[in-house]
Amino acid sequence: MGAKRALKPKQIWEIRFYLNQHRRLRDRALFDLAIDSKLRGCDLVQMKIGDLVSGGQIRMRAIVMQQKTSRPVQFELLPDARASLLAWLEQRGGTLDDYVFPSRVDHNGHLSTRQYARLVDEWVTGVGLMRSEYGTHSLRRTKASIIYRATGNLRAVQILLGHSKSENTVRYLGIDVEDALALAENTEI
């Protein structure tokens, strides 16, 4: 068991290609939103159209109240995510009070976290990855890991994930002595 792996940039593009090729508009929007938002699955599936849309446009930034911590977390939506969300919402229709990803069983409800987990399993196995190594938390962890590796800025990642303590972020990213030494070796004074 243990922590699920973060996706690498190449794997992100493989999954996007897979979803596009299979014409899975909703899944592509869900995947892109999961990567950019860095939200837990329970917060992701409960998002409403009004959280993402303003004046008929997908927002560049959104803010969501986290269920686990009851604290707000803000995130950016990059062009790929905005485009896939816009395409999905144009097909989906609905009002600002509707869920972005509705349940197919309960038309007033949202996609369940269990169904979201099944979809992630499908996506990763669809591109040849082992489903035992990846899960919904992989998507939350992906962009945070990429940002940390590119910048070494732990505080920025802590804020983006909505963690209250940097120790949680260190544990979450799996930072160890090797990571710290690699950063130090690349810093000349």
In the chain the beta strands, taken as DSSP E runs, fall at 53-54, 57-58, 61-65, 72-76
Whether the full predicted model's pTM is greater than 0.85, yes or no, is: yes
Q: Which two tokens stand for residue 110?
A: 């949202």
Range of the domain at 154: 9-186
pLDDT tens column, 80-125: 999 999 999 999 999 999 999 999 888 889 999 999 999 999 999 9
Domain membership of residue 2 (yes or no) is no
Domain membership of residue 169 (yes or no) is yes
Domain membership of residue 15 (yes or no) is yes
> Which uninterrupted H or E stretch holds 57?
strand 57-58
Domain count, the chain: 1
Domain membership of residue 179 (yes or no) is yes
Sign of CA dihedral 50, 56, 57, 61: negative
- Does the pLDDT value for residue 183 go beyond 70? no
Alpha carbons 100 and 98: distance in angstroms, whole number: 6
Domain membership of residue 1 (yes or no) is no
Domain membership of residue 102 (yes or no) is yes
Alpha carbons 59 and 36: distance in angstroms, whole number: 12
pLDDT tens column, 139-155: 988 998 888 888 888 88
Query: What is the per-residue pLDDT for 34?
Result: 97
Q: Which two tokens stand for residue 13?
A: 């593009």
